[in-house]
Amino acid sequence: MSRQRFTGQIAVITGAAHGIGRATAEQLSTEGAELLLLDRLAAQVGELADRLVADGGAATGYPVDLLDEPAVADLARRLTAAYPAVHVLVHCAGVVHINGRQDSTFIEGGLAGWNELFGVNLKGAALLTHGLLPALINGRGAVVNVASEAAYRTRPNKWIYDATKAGMVSFNRSLAASLAPHGVRVNCVAPGGTITEMHLNDHADPEAARDELRAMRIPNLLGRFAEPAEIASAITFLASSEASFVTGTTLAVDGGGQASR
């Protein structure tokens, strides 16, 4: 029998249509939360909401592109009006590259993709959090941001993505300090390599690629990639009352990746 840590709570999740966001939605729904699911993929987030409702949960999908600032602000206003108290806000939305742009070094690519990646991975999270502040304060809510082990790595490619995730770690600390006096906790997870659609969509056979990733040995202490549900479990812990004395921290959920370097 599953725990019901979120019964009676409203939870907002960005990037909910797939990967870690979807796994988090599934866990929170199982534990009793009413879900407000945000994603730019309208059909997919709607299908997820319908499935969770069919399984006995409460969920509504809201299509929104985090690059569209007026749309984000408008959605935040509508959600705050409809839900005066929000108890959980999880920022899972993230992109590695835009419109098929190949990863490149600073020397090769310059600032190509800068606005898009920062807009989705960092600015969008800040905009939505600010818009939902009245409801988060009313709900004495918990914010969980998703960074990445990339925030702590040195590599010439994906340098803009890595910078957005390092920025998220810093944003997380600053936001925690700002919101603690208002009763809102703010924490972050930094996942290691995780088997999500982000790594599969470019493959002709995504399921075969998923199996290959599961069989692959990688250089962390556990020697493997994570499943989305494993990251979601850390997110739900930080969002729950079990983490009531935890704020301003970034939890590495990386199979010992940092410890192995």
List for the chain the helix, strand, coil content (%; round to 5): 45, 15, 40
Find tokens 């493959």 and name the residue: 203
Domain regions of the chain by residue span: 10-253
Which range has the worst mean pLDDT, 66-70, 86-90, 140-144, 152-156? 152-156
What are 18-61's pLDDT values in tens digits? 999 999 999 999 999 999 999 999 999 999 999 999 999 999 99
Question: Helices (H), strands (E): how many in the chain?
Answer: 10, 7
CA distance 184 to 115: 29
Which range has the worst mean pLDDT, 1-5, 114-118, 171-175, 191-195? 1-5
**Predicted confidence band of residue 207 (pLDDT cuts 50, 70, 90):** confident
34 forms beta bridges with 10, 58
Q: Residue 32: is it exposed, middle or buried by C-beta count within 10 angstroms (0-12/13-18/19+)? A: middle
Beta-carbon contacts of 261 under 8 Å, excluding residues fewer than 6 positions away, are none
Question: What's the topology of domain 10-253?
Answer: Rossmann fold (3.40.50)
**Predicted confidence band of residue 126 (pLDDT cuts 50, 70, 90):** very high
Q: Which stretches of the chain are DSSP H helices?
A: 19-30, 42-54, 69-82, 106-109, 114-118, 124-131, 133-138, 159-179, 206-215, 228-239
**What are the residue numbers of the active site?**
161
What are 59-83's pLDDT values in tens digits? 999 999 999 999 999 999 999 999 9
204 forms beta bridges with none
